[in-house]
Amino acid sequence: MSVGIRRVGVVGGGQMGAGIAEVCARAGLDTVVCEADALAARTARERVAASLDRAVRRGKLEPSGAEDALAHLVFTGSLDDLADRQLVVEAVVENADAKAEVFGALDKIVEDPRAVLATNTSSLPVMRLGMATGRADRVVGLHFFNPVPVLPLVEVVSSLHTSADTVLLVEDFATRALGKTVVRSQDRAGFVVNALLVPYLLSAVRMAESGFATAADIDAGMELGCAHPMGPLRLADLIGLDTVASIAESLYDEFREQLYAPPPLLQRMVEAGLLGRKSGRGFHTYDRV
């Protein structure tokens, strides 16, 4: 591997953070996952271990590979443990203030001025996060897709301040170290994929909201009529309805076009805690694991 990045940090051990940590560990990288506290860190470890176990049961990974991946992982409740990292990927809640706070802290903690601070944001401005640091040229968007161990795409997003060297470094890292395919995007809300995908999901929500068709029929129509592997409402459930709503709000704030506005039904479901697969109920119901 030509890139020099061997020590990776991940801030946040939820669905996305755990997935990012897993692919880094499976690539043989020294990976430290930081959560809010020791209890959350243990939960993150259990999440990664369960994902590795599923990969083994499905024949996608040898048992020895799962053991090796876990050996490359450390879980902590302290950001200070990321001081020696060469790359830190932020994967906390999709909230601009929360993310900016993390970047401000990392700027003080991560010792190497050449280290890259990356965000896994789905839609928030990368430049705003870079400006929370004193090294905006080393801040970049590195947006993975869920489930991270399965989906091959990564969006690399450069702000007006991100240096060309930083972009090349993370692109090389994503392709050579992690085996991902990279698409580049400018720093606009939604980037490439969500700017196209989310209006489609919102249109499906509006169709269900109006009573035009049921969630099951909407999804069946797109799966069987358009050969989509998953219908739009089931996909929204997989992404998380709170995340879909957050992306929609970011898109609407930037473009002020009605097709990006989150429908009232989506907002009410988020308020009710009906977030999709992760909560056991969204537009469809799921067994909680």
Residue 281 has pLDDT above 50, yes or no: yes
CB-based contact 141:133 (threshold 8 Å): no
DSSP 3-state assignment of 227? coil
CATH code of the domain containing 264: 1.10.1040.10
Same domain for 177 and 268? no
Let me know if residue 289 belongs to a domain. Answer: no
Q: How confident is the model at residue 4 (pLDDT cuts 50, 70, 90)?
A: confident
Let me know if residue 288 belongs to a domain. Answer: no
In this predicted model, what pLDDT tens digit does every residue of 218-272 receive, in sequence order? Answer: 999 999 999 999 999 999 999 999 999 999 999 999 999 999 999 999 999 999 9
Same domain for 108 and 170? yes
pLDDT score for 31:
98
Copy the structure tokens of residue 48: 């990664």
CB atoms closer than 10 angstroms to residue 190? 22
Same domain for 204 and 243? yes
Mean pLDDT along residues 101-106: 98
Same domain for 20 and 160? yes
Same domain for 177 and 259? no
Same domain for 159 and 253? no
Same domain for 142 and 262? no
Same domain for 274 and 243? yes
Let me know if residue 82 belongs to a domain. Answer: yes
Number of domains in the chain: 2
Same domain for 40 and 96? yes
- In whole angstroms, what is the distance from residue 34 CA to residue 143 CA? 18
Let me know if residue 284 belongs to a domain. Answer: no
Q: Which residue range(s) make up the domain with 250?
A: 194-278
pLDDT score for 289:
54
Same domain for 118 and 134? yes
Please identify every residue annotated as catalytic.
122, 143, 155, 194
- Provide Rg for the chain, Cα atoms: 19
Question: Can the peptide bond before residue 262 be classed as cis, meaning omega within 30 degrees of 0?
Answer: no
CATH code of the domain containing 155: 3.40.50.720
In this predicted model, what pLDDT tens digit does every residue of 119-133 receive, in sequence order? Answer: 999 989 999 999 999
Which alpha helices (DSSP H) does the chain contain, by range?
15-26, 38-57, 63-71, 96-109, 126-130, 164-172, 193-210, 215-225, 232-239, 241-255, 264-271
The closest of 142, 256, 247 to 195, measured between CA atoms, is 247
Of 120, 155, 186, the last residue of a domain is 186
DSSP 3-state assignment of 111? coil
- In whole angstroms, what is the distance from residue 102 CA to residue 10 CA? 11
